[in-house]
A and B are shown apart, each in its own frame.
Chain A
């Protein structure tokens, strides 16, 4: 369990960060997911852990979305009663990516490399959630189609479709910025 968590924690953090776009929230999500996995499935064989952890991680991210939706609804309702001009901002603005909200500490890497990584990460963030989940599980977590489908609670055909669309979207977006991988 210890080795598994150590091997997966950084990628899990990045996955959560792509989804929620806030460092603190992403750390909380990873912590919750690790706790749930250890408490409920601590006795499971190591081979089952990746799929279980991904399922927990994605559910925890979805829980965050649900809470944020409720919060946005209340913000909208409350701002409707408020006369202050400052409060008339669109609550959906909170969902936008803040420029420089986090930057990669790459003092030794080349400027171009860090720029490329930032662009790739931004494009991954822009993917629809299900496409992003499928793509990252398949190709970053090295899970096979059946495992990904089990973790996402969908059919294997859906996983293939999500992955294919995600790849196409990423390739198109990067090409539009003059990047050919």
Chain B
């Protein structure tokens, strides 16, 4: 009775015989496949070159490109809205300031209790 490795060794011998007898057409196809694979082989040298660095960066960044674009869009959007609000506020303040300076306050300003309090406070200080 053969042990497992002995039996396997005999099977291996027969399999190798069969492999040696592969047809010419199959051997040619395998050779062609090997050449194609070698033509596209990744080499360690490529990683060290400048192009390799770019390629590596592209490999890392490209899979997350969509998420990155979305995040950048969101950040730009938030920054845009904040800047726009600041401009609006500044314009409103400028309008009130110029009205105060021109002594041309709208009637609503005198109805504002806060404004009257501020006015009396400032006039008493003067």
Interface size classification for chain A: 35 or more
Main secondary structure of the interface of B (DSSP, over half): helix
Main secondary structure of the interface of A (DSSP, over half): helix
Are A9 and B11 CB-contacts (below 8 A) given A39-B41, A41-B42?
Answer: no
Contacting pair A34 B34 (CB below 8 A):
yes
Per the bound structure, the CA–CA distance linking A42 and B2 in Å amounts to: 40
B27-56, CB < 8 A from A:
27, 29-30, 33-34, 36-38, 40-44, 47
Indicate with 1 or 0, residue by residue over B47-76, a CB within 8 angstroms of chain A CB atoms.
100000000000000000000000000000
Contacting pair B8 A138 (CB below 8 A):
yes
Does B85 interact with chain A (Cβ within 8 Å)?
A: no
Interface size classification for chain B: 20 to 34
Per the bound structure, the CA–CA distance linking A43 and B40 in Å amounts to: 12
| Most-contacted residue by chain A among B20, B42, B47 (CB, 10 A) | B42
A78-128, CB < 8 A from B:
104-106, 109, 113, 116-117, 120-121, 124
Contacting pair B15 A9 (CB below 8 A):
no
Does B106 interact with chain A (Cβ within 8 Å)?
A: no
Per the bound structure, the CA–CA distance linking A37 and B2 in Å amounts to: 37
A1-56, CB < 8 A from B:
1-2, 5-6, 9-11, 13-14, 23, 27, 30-31, 34-35, 37-43
Q: Among the listed stretches A57-65, A67-75, A146-154, A163-171, which one makes contact with chain B, having 4 or more residues with CB under 8 Å of it?
A: A163-171
Contacting pair A30 B41 (CB below 8 A):
no
CB-CB nearest in chain A for B17: A117
Query: Cβ of B4: which chain A residues have Cβ within 8 Å of it?
Result: 163-164, 167
Per the bound structure, the CA–CA distance linking A126 and B27 in Å amounts to: 25
Contacting pair A39 B23 (CB below 8 A):
no
Query: Cβ of A30: which chain B residues have Cβ within 8 Å of it?
Result: 30, 33
Residues of B within 8 A of A (CB): 2, 4-5, 7-12, 14-15, 17-23, 26-27, 29-30, 33-34, 36-38, 40-44, 47
Residues of A within 8 A of B (CB): 1-2, 5-6, 9-11, 13-14, 23, 27, 30-31, 34-35, 37-43, 104-106, 109, 113, 116-117, 120-121, 124, 135, 138-140, 163-164, 167, 170-171, 181
CB<8 Å pairs between A and B, sample of 20: A5-B34, A9-B30, A13-B26, A13-B30, A14-B18, A27-B33, A30-B33, A31-B36, A38-B37, A38-B38, A39-B41, A104-B18, A117-B14, A117-B15, A138-B8, A139-B5, A139-B9, A139-B11, A167-B4, A181-B11
